[in-house]
Amino acid sequence: MNSEAVSALIAKTPSLKAAKAKLEAMAPGSYVIHRSWGFGQIKSYDEASQKLVIDFKGKKSHAMDPAFCVSTMEVLPEKHLLVRKETEPKKINELIADNPAQLVAEALLAYRGHATSAIDLEITLAQVVGEEKFKKWWSVAKKSIAKDPRIAVPEKKTEAYVLRDVPVSAQDEILDQFNGTRSARRRILLAEELLGAADKKDLKTDLSAILSGLAEAVKESNQLDAAERLYGAAVRDDLAKLLSDETAFEPTQASLISNIRDLPAIAEKIPVQFQGRFLELVKETHPIEYRDVGFTLLKSSQGKFTTECINFLVENGHSEELAATLKRWQTEQNLRAPVLLWVVKNRHSKKFAKLLNDLVTPRLLHAIFFAIDYEALQASSARRIPLADILSEDTDLIADLLSTADPETARDLANTLMLNQGFEELTKKSLLARFIKIFPGIQSLVAADAESKEEQVLVSKESFERKRAEYETIVSKKIPENSKAIATAREHGDLKENSEYKMATQDQQVLMAQKSQLEKEFGRARITDFKEATTDQVSVGSIVNVKGGGKTTRYTLLGAWDSNPDAGIISYKTPLGLAFLGKKPGDHVKVKLSSGEESYEITGISRHVDSK
């Protein structure tokens, strides 16, 4: 906008006077970023309508009121990366591909003070690089940016990236941060970064001070848990080795893992990059017991540590014991989700063929379903279940596991899938289709389930709430208590002779059956208030007066879950209730009961809702 146009606009709207400079910057050819429309370029200014004409991506020649744009749109400087992406595409693409640190440096030059928040910088870079490529590109780019002495990298996203006036080496920056913090955890992380930095020869004097501070933190700090202290001791010893320092530091790594009982808790928290070294340290410290410790750690392992434990046992010559142990755990229903996940991912591996050949059977699929259902019940939120994801994503997995199954076994497994809590209904249907492809007869099971779901039953709100309370007690109290009982019983040794374990698993089967049955019933239930009942004929919600056997009786027909014979309340689904439905005053009814055939005459009909 030229000066005359801006003056005319301010004359019309005096409150825009403070934004005069910004309005003048909204000139044809300028690039802008709008809060709602995103990146665009001003093409012209229509003086007749007093509106800017802007080309946004996906919306060309969009007319906008400058007064509105003042608060919702920013004019970008010529050096801004989004502008240069349009004006110098070749140069920017070269920086994206070959020099991400220079790209960030040039991005920061466009900001006041040569600094901007991490969030703002990432949003801009995502638009420049492309949303689809950005995540992968940024994970690699951050490493080179962190090493660039010109750029100060923030610890948190709410802090700023800064282009320094005077470059500072990565090592010097780490040294400054180490000396500026008293946090033992932070010092361990910074010392580890320093070990990975280049040009260590020139830093030996400073590294001695770092070693001293780190040794003190590992020994004295009460902030560290056992896993953090062990890892800190390992970093300390690596640093001492680099400096050829032969000081006998305390505590030693061996002393920190001297108690075998502490190892599972320590293993659960150690950093991923230390897991392999941790297992080797266990072997050095416990040369006699290390194999048994390895199996104990594998049993409770998670994620990458599962792979580390298995590789450790195999590389130390314990493949046969491992194969036997995995098979025994499968028989005892003791194969946990992380180990099962490793098994299915490596089932085609030549390296582990002998180890896994006897495991890849229909029984493994049963163990997988059990683990998924268990994890779904334990989850306090709708988090992902990796084992369920791989079962859905690996299209060959079900076929591989069913390759030796007979039709009856496959049908049982399909039924188990239908009752599983770890899958959404659409996923279940997709997985069942894979069963049906191999065993077409399973289609009848699916059809029967669909038919049972379509048959609705009428229930009262009160009876529904009673059932719901029963379900909540089973899910939130009885099943977790049973899971703890099973875990406790497992610790008592040989499961074949373990009566506590057998009783607990039997209880589990009963509870899971009760849970599944209630879920089926909830799926068919339709709550009613019985207001649709009439006095013309018997329906659900009717009070029926009858004569029979020389006496007069009164029955109240309510929902499927409302029977209380002592109070004269019967479910409309009982033989007597079904016999009364649709009958009118004066009709005669015959019904077969357990005591024999009974005859009744309907003498009157009233509504339950009117009797309250």
| CATH-assigned architecture of domain 542-611 | Roll (3.10)
CATH of 3-75, one of 2.60.120, 1.10.10, 2.30.30, 3.30.310: 2.30.30
Q: Mean pLDDT highest for which of 184-198, 216-230, 561-575?
A: 216-230
Q: What is the pLDDT of residue 38?
A: 87
**Are the C-beta atoms of 105 and 151 separated by less than 8 Å?**
yes
Can you tell me the mean pLDDT for 505-512? 81
Which residue reads 């089967």 in tokens?
Answer: 509
Q: Which tokens is 243 given?
A: 């400096």
Q: Mean pLDDT score of the chain, rounded to an integer?
A: 86
- pLDDT of 497 strictly over 70: no
Reported confidence tier of residue 474, pLDDT bands at 50, 70, 90: confident
- Secondary structure class of 222 (helix, strand, coil): coil
State the Cα–Cα distance between residues 117 and 159, nearest whole angstrom. 5
% of the chain at pLDDT higher than 70: 93
**In 169-274, which ranges are continuous DSSP H helix?**
170-179, 184-196, 204-220, 226-242, 253-256, 263-267
pLDDT-wise least confident of 245-254, 277-286, 343-352, 462-471: 462-471
Q: In one letter, which amino acid is 608?
A: H
Q: What is the pLDDT of residues 246-289, one digit of tens each?
A: 889 999 999 999 999 999 999 999 999 999 999 999 999 999 99
Q: What is the pLDDT of residue 390?
A: 93
Q: Is pLDDT of 318 > 80?
A: yes
Q: What is the pLDDT of residue 226?
A: 95
Longest dimension (CA), the chain: 111
Report whether pLDDT(60) > 60: yes
- Residue 37 is predicted with a pLDDT of 85
Q: Is the pLDDT of residue 3 over 90?
A: no
Q: Is the pLDDT of residue 382 over 50?
A: no
Torsion of CA 511, 515, 516, 521, to 10 degrees: 140
What digits encode the pLDDT tens for the residues 132-187?
899 999 999 998 898 888 988 887 878 899 998 887 766 777 777 788 888 899 99
Contacts of 73 (CB under 8 A, 6+ apart): 26, 32, 33, 34, 35, 64
Per-residue pLDDT reduced to its tens digit, 580-604: 999 999 999 888 766 667 888 999 9
Q: Would you tell me how many other CB atoms lie within 10 Å of the CB of residue 489? A: 18
- In terms of average pLDDT, the best of 228-232, 442-446, 450-454 is 228-232
Residue ranges of domains in the chain: 3-75, 81-163, 394-525, 542-611
Grouping H, G, I as helix, E, B as strand and the rest as coil, residue 492 is coil
Report CA Rg, the chain. 36
Confidence of residue 381 (pLDDT cuts 50, 70, 90): very low
Assess contact for 570 and 563: CB atoms under 8 A.
yes
Which of 201-210, 292-301, 403-412, 525-534 is least confident?
A: 201-210
From residue 172, how far is each of 101, 183, 216, 237 by CA, in Å? 18, 19, 21, 22
- The pLDDT assigned to 194 comes to 80
pTM of the prediction?
0.57
